[in-house]
Amino acid sequence: MAALDCSGVTVSFGGHLALDDVDVTAADGAVTGLIGPNGAGKTTLFNVVCGLLTPSRGVVSLGGRELNRLPPYKRARLGLARTFQRLELFGLLTVRENVLVAADVRGTMGAAEVEAVIERVGLAGRIDDRVDELPTGQARLVEIARALATRPRVLLLDEPASGLDERETDELGRLLRELAAEGMAVLLVEHDVRLVMEVCDLIHVLDFGRIIAVGDAATVRSDEAVLAAYLGGSLEAS
C-alpha cells in the first residue's frame, strides 16, 4: 500500500479545472517526482493533500486512512509534512526556533536532535540567525528541517532546489535519497529536471491539471506527451 494515495482528485476554481481526476501515489522508502509546466496544478495538489484546499471530488489517503475530513493540523499529526513554493517561514524566529516550534508541537524531539536536523540540512553555521535574514536557498532548507522535525511519514517538497546552487542541489539530492533509504515517502515537486531525473524512483507528469505520464526517469524522458508539454523541447534542456 502506498504511504500517500491521491485518487480522482478534482479541483475547480470557478469554471477553471485546476486538477482533473488526478491519481498520484507516493510509496514508503521512495522519492516520487511530480513535474509539469507552470500552472499545471502541482502546488494545488499539495494544498489539497495537506488540507489547505478542499477538492471538489476525489480522496486523499495516508497509510490507508482517508484524510478528506481532517483539518491540516490533524493530517500533520498523522505524519504529513510539507514545504512551500512561496516560503512560509516564521520570520520573527531564528533557524533553531523555527525547527523547535515543529518539534515542540509534535513532541518528536529534543533540543539536541533539533540541532542534528539543522546540521543535516547544512545550516549549523546559521542556527541562531533570524530566518528572514537568510537567502532564499537557505530559507528553503529551514523549511525542510522544520518538516523533518515532525518525523513525517510522507514529506511533500515544493520546489526545494529553487535558489540553491549546483553543489547545494547535489547535497539536497543526497539528502532526499537518504530520507527515502530511512523509509520516508518523499513527494517532490521540482523544476530542476536534472535533480528529478537523478533522485526519483517514480515520476508523475502533470499538465493542465491532468496526469499525462507516469513512470521512471527513462520512461518519462521519452514520453511524447511529456515532451510536447515541455514545449516540444528536450527534458534535459528544460
Q: Would you state the cell numbers that stand for residue 169, as one nine-digit string?
A: 542541489
**Which of 190, 88, 104 is CA-nearest to residue 149?**
104
**Which of 66, 32, 31 is CA-nearest to residue 49?**
66
CA atoms within 13 Å, Cβ hemisphere of 55: 28
Judged by CB under 8 A, the number of residues near other proteins is 38
Interface mask toward other proteins for 36-75; x: CB under 8 A: -----------x--xxxx-----------------xxx-x
Q: Would you state the cell numbers that stand for residue 193, as one nine-digit string?
A: 529536471
Minimum distance, C-beta of residue 82 to other proteins, in the bound complex (Å): 5
DSSP category for residue 79: T
- Pick from 77, 124, 216, 222: which binds other proteins (CB under 8 A)? 77
**81 lies in the site for other proteins, by CB under 8 A:** yes
**227 lies in the site for other proteins, by CB under 8 A:** no
- Pick from 6, 11, 80, 206: which binds other proteins (CB under 8 A)? 80
Interface mask toward other proteins for 118-157; x: CB under 8 A: --------------x----------x--xx-xx-------
**Three-state SS for 227?**
helix
**Three-state SS for 48?**
helix
| CA–CA separation, 172 and 155 (whole Å) | 14
Interface mask toward other proteins for 93-122; x: CB under 8 A: x---xx-xxx-xxx----------------
Minimum distance, C-beta of residue 105 to other proteins, in the bound complex (Å): 5
Q: Which is nearer to other proteins, 57 or 77 (CB)?
A: 77
Residues in contact with other proteins by the rule CB under 8 A: 47, 50-53, 71-73, 75-77, 80-82, 84-93, 97-98, 100-102, 104-106, 132, 143, 146-147, 149-150
